[in-house]
Structure 1
Amino acid sequence: MTRTLRDGIDLTTEQREFVALARDFAAAEIRPRARAVDDADVESPLDLWAAAARLGITSFMLPAEYGGGGVTDMVTQCLVQQELCHGDIGIGNLLTSNGFFAAPIEELGTDEQKKRWLTPLTGDDPPLTALAVTEPGVGSDAAGLQTRAVRDGDHYVLNGQKAWISNAPYARWIVIFATVDPTKRARGVTAFVLDKDMPGLTVGKPMTKMGQRAIVSAEVFLDNVRVPVENRLGDEGQGFYGLMRTFDASRILIGASTTGLARAALDASLEYAKAREQFGKPIIQHQAVAFRLADMATRVDASHLLTMRAARLYDTGVPVAAESAIAKLTGSENAMWCTWAALQTHGGWGYSREFLLEKWMRDAKLEEIEEGTSDIQRLIISRSLAGSA
């Protein structure tokens, strides 16, 4: 039995149906596979991907005009994401990962480009895709990219190296962010869609990771890859804008993902605390445990409400850099704390692989790092404060 989060948001019948679909799939298909997928380490559960695709879960967030579910509002996307990640955050993030690839195409692409690259993602057997920003020497400083794109007639020649690219070993297409002029920093960043079969594009071996192993990551190497001009998204220098809009959305979704994970930790702890007896009574009646559960519930609610605020604002079209950073920062750090608290509540059993708690703690750590570390989120928030002073 999961704890209901009350937020005062009235959902339509259609929204409730999408959320219920995600909740049921998470309980029946995702949670039972979580341990096996973690043990597999460098193998994505492609059978789960296929099952989710047949239900429309992998494409529900894509525009209806290209065959998607048409659920383009951020509020519903977050509620669905939270339910999937309540089942397992790694698998949940995998199942919606094509939305990350699609975001810059939706933001910068032409109608022809959207039809070309989004429509194939909405069928019963969609390919996996990837988005490549991070480089070995460039983490959160997306304006400092070193991957070069040099114009050569009706092509660009790309050279560089990308690191920690989710889905890279499986991806049919990859959105690559490169610079046409490093001296211009953000104004030089440009986005391209590359096919995995383009000569000169190679993918490294899968990286062994601490957590969220359902998504397999690898390096991507670009050695004189010739990319047609028609594969460029937007004009030269527009890539950074598209990337920042993508991050605004994805950071809100991370807030939803981590809320789902924190909820799972709380639910497991409540169930255990009611059933486990110590000193002659259920441990939930011991003040130390009861107060820890209260803190967990408070953090789960805070993550959910701040994520929903950012989602509602995003849907109005206003700038949300600070609000999305707050959602990600709060969600990721609260998920880390709640998984720690769940281990504490379970005592020695929490340290055992018999439970998923140790896995959830490993999974949570990624969200404090990816798409801008917690320090980067604090920097974004502090700059917003300075600008409003």
Structure 2
Amino acid sequence: MINSQLPVELVALTDEQRDLLDLCREFGAREIRPVAREVDEADTETPWDVWRKAAEAGITDFMLPTAYGGGGATDVFTQCLVQEELGAADAALGNLLTSNGFFADPVLELGTEDQKERWLRPLTGPNPPMTALAVTEPGVGSDSAAITTRAERTTGGYRLTGQKAWISNGGVAEYYVIFATVDAAKRAKGVTAFLVTKDRLSFGQPMKKMGQRAIINTEIFLDDVFVPEEDRLGAEGQGFQGLMRTFEISRTVLAASATGLARACLDLATSYARERVQFGKPIIEHQAVAFRLADMATKIEASRLLTWRAARRLDAGLPCATESAMAKLTASETAMFCSWAAVQTLGGWGYSREYLAEKWMRDAKLEEIEEGTSDIQRMIIARSLR
């Protein structure tokens, strides 16, 4: 059973938010959880059936502005509420179904009205394409200012040359935001964003991943790819600014996803501990198990509150690099702890594929790596203390 309890005494939810949460909770129970194992074992196949059902329900575009046909839940707080509920069903599928929001963030931050209309409106409705952000390179991970993909000016636009790695939805997405540099010596001040369609790109084979297999990851190869000037996002050198804003939002939303994953682990472990009898009583009555569950519940609550704090700051237009890093760090490590704790509580059954605990443990590891590893989040937090 998917836990539906949120500490609403802290933040009163609107009727619209409650309806959206009910929709996501029901969709998660009906369409996500039952196929989570099947999608994981399919490995490098995109679950288009779930994607289309989510689009018809309004889940893939709920975060897009109504001006472009979206659901209008543009505030990060609501996005976090939704992401936690979807993550409680299955984080891998939940992250896939809302991935168009990550593409939309830099477009909304840097794009012209014409670009927003051309690139965001197609993402709404019952049959939207998938989208992707392309930042990471084989030799460039979290240091986005060190991007080496080149953007060279030419008549009418730019030529992009370089290679991207670990791109989520690579090869299955139709639209891409590609981050390149107009001058590598300028580092952050040279980073520029470009909107590119799939037909101009080449892709590597889907990567064989440890977890979150619902999302395909590939390399992208750019060999003198022409991009018209009208498809540059913002001015030259503005891409890094848009990317940092996107990271603050995405790290916060991913913290909500990790919190949902941790919730799923607690629900499973608690349910099992109530039913499993050892030494004449349910194992939930054994101190070691009870204390482990208590630690899980406490860490989940702390993760949620840090996530909500970061979301509220973002919605208020306040600086949020430190707060989003705190939320991402705490929630991702909580997801990893809770998935371990669920496997530990279930014992041999947790180690088997009979239950989803082992899958969630593999999924949780990505939460500590993507959008900047836990070490990077600690660096961001430590920098704020100097």
TM-score class, shorter-chain normalisation, is over 0.9
Contact 1:5/1:301 (<8 A) preserved? no
Instruction: Kindly provide the CA deviation profile for residues 126-175 of structure 1, in whole angstroms up to 9, marking residues without a partner as x.
Output: 00011000000001100000000000121100000000000011111110
User: Any residues of structure 2 matched to 1:82-121 within 5 Å, and which?
Assistant: 82-121=84-123
Residue 324 (1) aligns with residue 324 (2): yes
- Asked if 1:140 corresponds to 2:142, the answer is yes
Aligned partners of 1:334 and 1:23: how far apart in 2? 22
Residues 80-105 of structure 1: CA deviation (Å, up to 9, x unaligned): 00001111100000000000111100
Please name the residue that 2:291 is paired with. Answer: 291
Q: Distance in 1 between matches of 2:4 and 2:99?
A: 27
1:199-232 Cα deviation digits (max 9, x unpaired) = xx20111111000000000000000001100000
Shifted more, 29-38 versus 4-13: the winner is: 4-13
- 1:111 Cα offset (Å): 0.3
Matches within 5 A, 1:35-114: 35-114=37-116
Task: Name the amino acid aligned to 1:118.
Answer: L
Distance 1:3 1:76, change over 3 A: closer
Please give the secondary structure, in 2, of the residue aligned with 1:288: helix
The letter of the residue matching 1:223 is D
CA distance in 2, matches of 1:79, 1:24: 14
Which residue identity is paired with 1:5? L
Please tell me the residue identity of whatever aligns with 2:96. L
- CA contact under 8 A between 2:171 and 2:198: conserved in structure 1? no
Unaligned runs of 5+ in 2: none
Query: Separation in 1 of the partners of 2:88 and 2:232?
Result: 37
Displacement of 1:4 after TM fit?
A: 1.7
Letter in 2 for 1:211: G
Supply the distance in 2 between the matched residues of 1:197 and 1:127 (Cα, whole angstroms).
Answer: 13
Report the secondary structure of 2:161's partner residue: strand
Structure 1 residue runs of 5 or longer lacking an equivalent are none
- Whether the 8 Å CA contact 2:204–2:219 is kept in 1: the answer is yes
Q: 1:159 to 1:383 in 2, by over 3 A?
A: same
Matched, 1:5 2:20: no
Residue 216 of structure 2 is aligned to residue 216 of structure 1? yes
Distance 2:313 2:206 in 1: 37
1:152 corresponding residue in structure 2: 154
TM-score computed with the length of structure 1 as normaliser: 0.98
Tell me how far 1:197 sits from its aligned partner.
1.2
The alignment of Structure 1 onto Structure 2 pairs a total of residues equal to 384
Deviations 1:347-368 (A, max 9, x none): 1111111000010000000011
Deviation at 1:371, TM superposition (A): 0.8
SS at match of 2:347: helix
* Cα deviation code 1:46-103 (max 9, x no counterpart): 0000000001100000000000000011111101000011111000000000001111
Deviations 1:159-202 (A, max 9, x none): 0000000001111111000000000000000000011112xx20
Q: Is the 8 A contact 2:211 2:366 kept in 1?
A: yes
Distance 2:19 2:326 in 1: 29
- Hey, what's the Cα distance between the residues in 2 that align with 1:330 and 1:254? 11
* Partner amino acid, structure 2, of 1:54: E
Which amino acid in structure 1 is aligned with residue 21 of structure 2? V
What is the correspondence of 1:182-331 to structure 2 with a 5 Å cutoff? 182-198=184-200, 201-331=201-331
1:44 Cα deviation from its structure 2 partner? 1.3
Kindly indicate whether the alpha-carbon contact (under 8 Å) linking 2:179 and 2:192 is maintained by their aligned counterparts in 1: yes
**How big is the alpha-carbon RMSD for the aligned residues of Structure 1 and Structure 2?**
0.7
- The SS at the match of 1:177 is strand
Corresponding residue for residue 182 of structure 2: 180
Q: Percent of counterpart pairs with the same letter?
A: 67
CA–CA separation in structure 2 for the residues paired with 1:123 and 1:3 = 28
The one-letter amino acid of 1:250's match is S
Q: CA deviation at 1:313?
A: 0.9
**Structure 1 runs, 4 residues or longer, greater than 2 Å off:** none
Separation of aligned partners in 1, 2:146 and 2:297: 40
The answer for the alignment partner of 1:164 in structure 2 is 166
Q: Is the 8 A contact 2:129 2:173 kept in 1?
A: yes
Q: Note if 1:360 corresponds to 2:363.
A: no
Aligned residue type for 1:262: A
* C-alpha distance in 2 between matches for 1:384 and 1:45: 41
Q: What SS does the aligned partner of 1:88 have?
A: helix
What CA distance in whole angstroms lies between the structure 2 residues aligned with 1:160 and 1:331?
A: 34
Counterpart residue number, 1:128: 130
8 A Cα contact 1:3 1:267, kept in partner: no
Write the distance in 2 (CA, Å) between the matches of 1:253 and 1:319.
16
TM-score by length of structure 2 reads 0.99
Structure 2 CA distance for aligned equivalents of residues 44 and 90 of structure 1 = 11
Distance 2:343 2:54 in 1: 31
d(CA) in 1 for partners of 2:278 and 2:63? 47
Indicate if the aligned counterparts of 2:60 and 2:98 stay in contact, CA closer than 8 A.
yes
Partner of 1:197, secondary structure, is helix
CA distance in structure 2 between the partners assigned to 1:61 and 1:255 by the alignment: 17
